[in-house]
Amino acid sequence: MGVMRIGHISIKVMDIAAAVNHYENVLGMKTTHIDARGNVYLKCWDEWDKFSVILTSSDRAGMNHVAYKVENDADLDVLKRRVEEYGIKTEILHPEALPFIGRMLTFNLPSGHEMRLYAKKECVGTAVGTMNPDPWPDDLRGAGVHWLDHCLLMCEMNPEKGINKVAENTKFMMEVLDFYLAEQVVVGPDQNIQAATWLFRSSTPHDIAFVAGPRQGLHHFAFFLDSWHDVLKAADIMAKNKVRIDVAPTRHGITRGETIYFFDPSGNRNETFAGLGYLAQPDRPVTTWGEEFLGRGIFYHTGELNAAFTDVYT
């Protein structure tokens, strides 16, 4: 019962054609639908649902909403009641409010980000099928990303005004949507202020993460790759395509993930992420990073913080 995994993310782009080129030829996704408004729907080769990324035309970059898939349609009614009892307004969107998808429960997180939950989306299968499948398809392009893995949302934090949307979001996700806390960064004299959290519902270290910033926004959304070698290959493909790389291949201390960060043509930050890190389970003790170890937690190899990494987001 309840949330299973991330389902899709809808993002704003300023040039649809350039964005499609990026997500198809650099990341290796495929367009599965273009709706009457010109919004483009894409999926990765190892995903079985119709789409995981929606590109919408806008005069600025950023996120429209992020959606998570629940196990049963009846879960939407249960979660609607729980969200409203928590004090957050909800709305049920009718089936086909987005193409190929059933009814959706929509609401804003305490941070203001829009989240949607749904149970039904058209299943089209992976590129290798389910009967005697090969390990990968022959027509992979670009980095050949497997699936949309997670997103990281920036949340307003101002201790002087008593604002900490990271902690508020974390409490909501755990108490209402039954997410579990995998890792956290704590700051302050007593190291009791949550400045970043990584939460999961599947068995990976994070299905969503929250990090403190001066305003709410989208930090990045990430795609899974098999190995460190695949991350390096992705970096080569980005260099060949003159993609703006934010952080060259490295390892996180937090989640243990192997990573490269880069930007799409509109400035939305992407990540290709390899290595499951560890088995995330409800009874696994929470990993905590103190403020003085934050640099090593984010960039394990150098241990040095890059201010632009947290200051620049959409």
| Per-residue pLDDT tens digits for 70-114 | 999 999 999 999 999 999 999 999 998 999 999 999 999 999 999
23/166 same-domain check:
no
CATH of the domain at 89: 3.10.180.10
For residues 247 and 306, the answer to whether their CB atoms sit within 8 Å is yes
**Residue 182 falls within a domain, yes or no?**
yes
Identify the domain boundary among 118, 140, 163: 118
**Residue 141 falls within a domain, yes or no?**
no
295/169 same-domain check:
yes
For residues 287 and 279, the answer to whether their CB atoms sit within 8 Å is no
42/104 same-domain check:
yes
- 201-224 pLDDT per residue, tens: 999 999 999 999 999 999 999 999
Please give the residue range of the domain that contains residue 209: 148-311
Total domains present in the chain = 2
Contacts of 218 (CB under 8 A, 6+ apart): 11, 62, 63, 151, 152, 153, 154, 268, 269, 313, 314
For residues 248 and 234, the answer to whether their CB atoms sit within 8 Å is no
- 1-57 pLDDT per residue, tens: 799 999 999 999 999 999 999 999 999 999 999 999 999 999 999 999 999 999 999
For residues 86 and 175, the answer to whether their CB atoms sit within 8 Å is yes
Asked whether the whole model's pTM tops 0.85, one would answer yes
Question: Which residue numbers are catalytic?
Answer: 150, 206, 220, 252, 261, 271
**Residue 129 falls within a domain, yes or no?**
no
